[in-house]
Structure 1
């Protein structure tokens, strides 16, 4: 017992005289952890409480696991608590995988039970060295940054993992030596049941054939990357320590961003989401790259916008990057390729070919650099449309002819190319910028934002 737990930092183990909560599924790993922590706590006048969550995903087998853990704890005089939840229902409601929904309900249950035991009660799980290596590989395969390659830590978000330096084979030997029983989840033997199963059953054994120390080396790499990751976070925090923070808005100068290395810039942007109070969840590398694109390609004096998760809008204008959750006034904004922007009741996206409803404008001519912007039509601006017979009419007159009120007119996106009015939604494209069917074009896709939100629901 002492040999296995001695690999864990002392601070991560239950304190003398204090209770702790151990997540127990009934499998070999968690049963070994429960036995180890029970022995540890008894020697130090503390106590371990076993917590089992029944996912109800495997019928009678799920109930068998719960009964097994309860009976074993009763025989060892270990306090036992259990819980359950509708995993399938949660997965359907929130669009999660069964594994994600099960994890969410399980950890919510563990935190509730820990709160019942008192303040600062630690929750322990049986994640071990093989689990950690599989996690690093899984993140690498599905796509991740440096943070995703650091693996698990001994303590993270109040969850303690004392077995991260112990292998699955060592736990099997411990169970055999101490006659610790366990139950098997039948789905664990099916490589097609989950991606992690495939990694554990098919990939890891082959990696160990190449090098028996594969697990240790993957985990060592994760620890080294954790040091790098921590340094990047500290540098990003230092460079964003003096950003302007207001309710619903954070502002960062382009100079502060430009002075940072490419490795630190994305971390600085993530810090802005933290300072804004919305957090980093659902903020992907694609979002961060799009924000950086704004800061590099927005014309001087123009404004570019980008819609982001959590109702956040990124705006860049005159060397300042602003992230905000406040409602936006209808000002002129620059349109950048494949960067959607919400303008009033519409969502605008600049594309290189027609897709859906929108406005098609002639492409740039050779040597021509014309920025496209969207905004309210300026007073007196005119459009030359087919029905105006080459003479052109004011936007105001065209709207009156089509029974569009002045209030509605001001809500319609007008498209400007190099400062010249090129088109107005619901009115048409000026003949100087019009294209024939099938010709190459710049296409501004226009969708009603409210309809898009309804479609997403």
Structure 2
């Protein structure tokens, strides 16, 4: 791929955000679609000047039959022509979706990232000191960012969800977040670079596809820079999220009273809430999220409803109890919020009997 203003901007974005550094190993997901093909071409053009090692992995999800086989073959040949080590991994997304009660789209995403992480660890072990840092590069771009924000907006997400995807999170890097989809397609067309199309991306029963094919194009009719403006707003909200998390962390560090095991073997922490009740609701919510992190419970299955219920708890008369996700419970006693991970969830009847 020719070096021009677009590739220079991407390189500067990578360097500015320290996505790839000298000596790194970069494992990128290649589907054969335009976004991943563009990323492959870009990274292939950078690997010598930036001094990193590039590998590619293709995940065959066990759906779309011959079309998926075509994608794998195309991806393998593309990497072979560019002397990029390639591996294809087959998973059964339909079976996993059925087993876990997930949508096919979500099941495929989970399995895909599990493959990425497994292969990343394998490369790290194999390369050792030759490439001490191995990262996973995915091809999300600016329009994907806008779609993510819109998707989270209609689902009722808070600031965290509206801040979209990060350029770097853990081992995952997204070098194309500053690039528009139309720029990618135009660049591929101008240079005669071929790619394949996943037919499921055109099916509108998937929420993201509906946003991509219907909602975002309508917003672009209102303002051609809609995707860019949404992505910039996500950046601002990410800064706000970082600020409120720091504020909440400081509060918890100041006031956390106990971290101990209660008599029944459950982990328990306690914090006074009189000062907290004078803060805005948003800040109280962030403090409660920070408390959940301190207990060691993942926030994945928590929603705004859970934190609002906890907020109602501390504004009540006291001596009240609330059951929460992951066997957690919250109690409000003597002007303190007490969070505990229980060995099992106590029913209302048992709580009364034990009281």
Check if 1:306 corresponds to 2:318: no
1:8 counterpart (9, 13, 16):
13
Q: Following TM superposition, by how much is the alpha carbon of 1:9 offset from its aligned partner in structure 2, in angstroms?
A: 4.1
Partner of 1:231: 243
Provide, for residues 182-233 of structure 1, a one-character-per-residue CA deviation record: whole Å limited to 9, x for no partner.
100112223x231111111111111111111111111111111111111111
Does the CA-based 8 Å contact 1:23-1:51 persist in structure 2? yes
Distance in structure 2 (CA, Å) of the matches to 1:171 and 1:327: 52
Distance in structure 2 (CA, Å) of the matches to 1:113 and 1:75: 22
User: Which stretches in structure 2 are left out of the alignment for 5+ residues?
Assistant: 125-131, 262-266
Helix, strand or coil at the partner of 2:253:
coil
Q: Following TM superposition, by how much is the alpha carbon of 1:90 offset from its aligned partner in structure 2, in angstroms?
A: 1.6
Helix, strand or coil at the partner of 1:143:
coil
Does the CA-based 8 Å contact 1:17-1:41 persist in structure 2? no
Distance in structure 2 (CA, Å) of the matches to 1:17 and 1:195: 39
Partner of 1:429: none
1:165 counterpart (178, 181, 188):
178
Partner of 1:208: 220
Change in 2 beyond 3 A, CA 1:208/1:277? same
1:284 counterpart (263, 281, 303):
303
Provide, for residues 258-278 of structure 1, a one-character-per-residue CA deviation record: whole Å limited to 9, x for no partner.
243322101111111111111
Check if 1:41 corresponds to 2:47: yes
Partner of 2:79: 73
Check if 1:198 corresponds to 2:210: yes
Q: Following TM superposition, by how much is the alpha carbon of 1:7 offset from its aligned partner in structure 2, in angstroms?
A: 4.9
Distance in structure 2 (CA, Å) of the matches to 1:54 and 1:327: 40
Distance in structure 1 (CA, Å) of the matches to 2:52 and 2:76: 20
Of 80-89 and 33-42, more deviation after overlay is shown by: 80-89
Q: Following TM superposition, by how much is the alpha carbon of 1:21 offset from its aligned partner in structure 2, in angstroms?
A: 0.6
Does the CA-based 8 Å contact 2:61-2:91 persist in structure 1? yes
1:258 counterpart (277, 280, 304):
277
Distance in structure 1 (CA, Å) of the matches to 2:163 and 2:50: 33
Partner of 1:295: 314
Distance in structure 1 (CA, Å) of the matches to 2:24 and 2:238: 30
Instruction: Show the 5 A alignment for 1:119-134.
Output: 119-134=132-147
Does the CA-based 8 Å contact 1:114-1:123 persist in structure 2? yes
Q: Following TM superposition, by how much is the alpha carbon of 1:64 offset from its aligned partner in structure 2, in angstroms?
A: 1.0
Change in 2 beyond 3 A, CA 1:7/1:214? farther
Helix, strand or coil at the partner of 1:37:
helix
Does the CA-based 8 Å contact 1:12-1:162 persist in structure 2? no
Change in 2 beyond 3 A, CA 1:64/1:327? closer
Does the CA-based 8 Å contact 2:135-2:172 persist in structure 1? yes
Larger radius of gyration: 1
Larger RCO (alpha carbons 8 Å, 6+ apart): 2
Check if 1:98 corresponds to 2:114: no
Q: Which has the higher strand share?
A: 1
Distance in structure 1 (CA, Å) of the matches to 2:48 and 2:187: 19
Check if 1:269 corresponds to 2:288: yes
Distance in structure 1 (CA, Å) of the matches to 2:53 and 2:332: 56
Does the CA-based 8 Å contact 2:24-2:135 persist in structure 1? no
Provide, for residues 357-408 of structure 1, a one-character-per-residue CA deviation record: whole Å limited to 9, x for no partner.
xxxxxxxxxxxxxxxxx734xxxxxxxxxxxxxxxxxxxxxxxxxxxxxxxx
Question: Cα RMSD (Å) of the superposition?
Answer: 1.9
2:268 counterpart (246, 249, 258):
249
Helix, strand or coil at the partner of 2:57:
strand
Does the CA-based 8 Å contact 2:33-2:196 persist in structure 1? yes
Give the total of aligned pairs. Answer: 335
Distance in structure 1 (CA, Å) of the matches to 2:123 and 2:277: 49
Check if 1:318 corresponds to 2:329: no
Does the CA-based 8 Å contact 2:62-2:94 persist in structure 1? no
Helix, strand or coil at the partner of 1:264:
helix
1:174 counterpart (159, 163, 187):
187
User: Which stretches in structure 1 are left out of the alignment for 5+ residues?
Assistant: 329-339, 346-373, 377-410, 414-457
Does the CA-based 8 Å contact 1:56-1:63 persist in structure 2? no
TM-score, normalising length: structure 1: 0.70
Does the CA-based 8 Å contact 1:55-1:87 persist in structure 2? yes
Q: Which has the higher helix share?
A: 2
